Amino acid sequence: MLVIEAIIGNIHESAWSARLQHATLDWLALDQWEAQKSRLRKLSQNGVDVAISLPRGILLRDGDVLMWEESRQAAIVARVSLKDVMVVELTALQTHASDILIRTCVELGHALGNQHWPAVVKGDRIYVPLTVDQKVMASVMKTHAFRGITYHFVPGSEVIPYLAPHESRRLFGGAEGPVHSHEDGHDHSHDHAHPHGHGHPHDHAH
């Protein structure tokens, strides 16, 4: 059994990305609920018995490097499956009169709050993780029939590049947990944020 007591890096970090380019990777597949556990035992893709035993408050992120063996150029990496996200588009709302814009935004915020749905606002988009069935969320949006607002659903993995680390934690769990550090003292905060502006599919549902 391989006991993991610390996270040593992430494949999205430039240093690890380069190091693992030609390495043999063994994946530890986790759903997003398993990833929030500090104690976990599970087999990797290649059958390695992995026991996770992390300090309280440290959460696994997609791409975390759990084991690195220099001599074999081999690593075990966490692969976390993220829930889908509802993307609410506010672009068209900006063409409405200011009183309609303000009222609609307040009503939208009230509706999201009523459902206890966490949300992250980025420019003219609001990202809301699926906390219930997609059909239920669509039904809520249709019931309110917000003017000038459209929405669609995308895989969580497509949203990650547009989010700062704290926004990612808010959407995908562990928002209250501290950002953990590597043994070398660096923040383990995987900043994947990029300039926002394009790259999302736009098959809007109304």
Answer whether 0.85 is exceeded by the pTM.
Answer: no
Instruction: Report all structural domains of the chain as residue ranges with CATH numbers, in order of start.
Output: 2-81 (2.60.260.20), 82-206 (3.30.70)
CA distances, 44 to each of 52, 78, 80 (Å): 12, 9, 12
Would you say 190 and 138 are in contact if contact means Cβ atoms under 8 Å apart? Answer: no
Residue 135 host element (H or E): helix 134-144
111-129 pLDDT tens trace: 998 898 989 998 889 999 8
pLDDT tens sequence across 15-67: 999 999 999 999 999 987 788 788 999 999 999 999 999 998 787 888 999 99
Lowest-confidence range among 42-56, 114-128, 143-157, 186-200?
A: 186-200
CB contact at 8 A, 47 and 29: no
How far apart (Å, rounded) are the C-alpha atoms in residues 61 and 79?
8
> What radius of gyration do the chain's Cα atoms show?
20
In the prediction, which pLDDT does 156 show? 84
pLDDT above 60 for 86: yes
